[in-house]
Chains A and B, each alone.
Chain A
Amino acid sequence: MNQLDELRDIIVGDSSEQLAELKERIENVEQRTSDVAEVLSPAIDKEVRSGNPTLAIALQKPVSLGLKRAIRSEPEEYAEILYPVMAPSIRRAIAQAISSMMVTINRTIESATTVQGLSLRYQSLRSGIPYGELALRKSLLYRVEHVYLIHRDTGMAIESVHGDDKNLLDTDAIGAMFSAIQSFVQESFSQDDSGRLTDLKVGDQNVWVAHGPKAMLACVIRGEAPVSLKRELYDTLDAVRTGFGNAIVDFDGDCSAFDGVDELLQPLLLSELKDNLTANSKGSSSKNQSWGPLILGFFCLAMALYFAFQFFINSSKVSTVEHFLRETPGVATTALYWSDGKLVVEGLQDPDAVIPYETLKSYDIHQEDLEFNMIPFRSLELDMELQRFRTELSLPRGVYLSVRNNKIELYGKSPLRWLLENDVRIRQLAADRRLSIAELSPSLVSVSDILISSFPRDILRTLSMSEVVRDERTVLEIGGQMDAVNLALLQAMFAGNRWVMVTASAR
């Protein structure tokens, strides 16, 4: 030990060991951590108790970052922790929203089915103002729609709050114009500077103004507000002066110094419903009173729906009958209308036309529902003609009627007897161009039968039969050679017959 060490020992004595111990504690990280942990909790507690915000400010960011990180990494765990806190609030909020919605629906139905509601709808249509807005105006005793905090000297709007932000004009221009009107009225009507404009009335709107030395508070009210609102106006203006007095005095157009002033103005956006309407939305007894108009409204609605339904059914029946009668050959309708519960059809009807009752029945339109006031006429529609010819001519086998190229044709191989029986009528129809008979001819069998019954077989062998076209008609030609006596007999048999022509000659 040298002299210096000895001197140190004399001066500091055992302290050297303590210093070494301290050095060890400072350099040893684990030891230092334990030391800090020991004092951290009481230190924080002491700082919080002292009310000094420094610690809170210092911890704000790391705590916030730590929370965010923790929630991101373990969202389910945090959701589980928060669930008992959040769930009841969420449930309450949803229940409140549903309840509020039910009240709104109830009121809407109520107002839509009453005379007043219908009247409001009419007014809304006429004026273009939304129905909800009109209904609210009618149901309100008063409503503060706008509040302006105006700087007195410059007339500039420091802040404004609005209950309804539709159709808002420039608030600075409004504030300035209001200030200008204030000056105008003051100079025009007041004897000294003390007179101030405190009330304005425009239609059903009122403007109330509370005046302070450097600022004024103007609120636009729809309806009749209670006088107590004026006191609230002045209270609010006082609160503004208390909180923002210096900012108002130093106001140079910069509104940033007025952060939070809107929270003071917001409570002034008051409204109050008329007594009866307030009761309607709250009292159970008055709910019963609303059943009357509600039931009446539903009854009217039901009646209107019933008549609308009946009108629809009747209209569709008229359309259905009109459609099917238009499709029916031989019927031409001129008017269809309902009379004494019956559908009356007026028009023209061919006696052979068949009304499609069966088809109409499938549409729930019965024969007894219909009344026909028809004038008979002869229809020349092809379908009608076809039907008529079929009935009139009683077609034999092998003869047919059909429409070809928009014309009715009678064609086929007919027994000669049938041809002769209907010859006059057929010729008449053909002459009238109502029927084409170019392909109608007597059948070979029917003519052969006549010949067989009249002539011996050896004579028949000398004859031949063939179809030839004469004057746009098909006729049966009998040719060959035979003796003069039989030839005369043959010619006599078919004399005047337009369907069989004898060209046989004497041997």
Chain B
Amino acid sequence: MKKKKICMVGDFSVGKTSLTQKFVNNVFSDKYLTTVGVKIDTVEVMDTKLVVWDVAGRDSLSPINASYLVGAAGVILVADGTRKSTVEGLHEIWDTVAGRIGEVPCVVALNKADLDDWNVDEGKINDFKNRGWSVFESSAKDGIAVEALFNALVEKL
């Protein structure tokens, strides 16, 4: 079985950890996110074993630790569909990713699709799609599109 490193990146509190929590094999405690800044999980998707690096979210004080991205075969960009700034911030995050590891396969998760105050422009989604990224409106709470998200990334790897 092939093994691939992938990274989950996005702003702080967009639901990266929640998104994967029920899908992956939780090996380590969540406390590593706040201490080391990354949490490692593994999951088998189709014929590939993914080593998922859940990188601590970006906020106004601390940028994404790009050293954790090295060696990643693909990334999942995660944004909060109810917070416009996190969706718009994905371009900047992508620039960090591409600057460090190149233009690796990527899928976008617009998370918290179960909430009523959804605030994502169709234009923004099209913008993502034009870059060749698959876009999923996901919900960590209801488990919507979580598996599809990983499947789509594995197909691109």
Contacts and interface: CB of A to CB of B under 8 A. Distances in A.
Interface in B9-67: 25, 27-28, 32, 36-38, 40-42, 48-49, 51, 53, 65, 67
A506 to B, nearest CB: 123
A170 interface: yes
Interface of B: 2-5, 25, 27-28, 32, 36-38, 40-42, 48-49, 51, 53, 65, 67-68, 70-73
A250 to B, nearest CB: 13
Contacts, number: 71
A185 to B, nearest CB: 9
Interface string A178-219: 001101101100000000000000000000000000000000
Nearest to A177: B40
Given A156-B51, A170-B27, A173-B42, 15 more contacts: A151-B71, A154-B51, A154-B72, A154-B73, A155-B51, A155-B53, A172-B49, A173-B51, A176-B5, A176-B40, A177-B40, A180-B53, A183-B70, A187-B65, A254-B2
Nearest to A157: B3
Contact of B38 (A153, A156, A180, A255): A180
A243 interface: no
19 contacts: A153-B70, A154-B5, A154-B71, A154-B73, A155-B5, A155-B71, A156-B51, A170-B25, A170-B27, A172-B42, A173-B25, A173-B40, A173-B41, A176-B5, A177-B27, A177-B40, A180-B68, A184-B37, A187-B67
Contacts of A252: 2, 73
Contacts of A180: 32, 36-38, 40, 53, 68
B89 to A, nearest CB: 23
B2 A173 contact: no
A186 B3 CA distance: 25
Interface string A241-255: 000000000001111
A180 B70 CA distance: 10
B2 A253 contact: yes
Interface string A107-128: 0000000000000000000000
Nearest to B25: A170
Contacts of A153: 70-71
A29 interface: no
Contacts of A173: 25, 27-28, 40-42, 51
Nearest to B38: A180
A169 interface: yes
Nearest to A179: B71
A170 B12 CA distance: 27
A187 B64 CA distance: 13
Contacts of B70: 153-154, 183
Contacts of A174: 27
B55 to A, nearest CB: 9
A183 B68 contact: yes
A139 B121 CA distance: 67
A151 B3 CA distance: 12
- Max chain B Cβ within 10 angstroms of own Cβ: one of A154, A155, A173, A176: A176
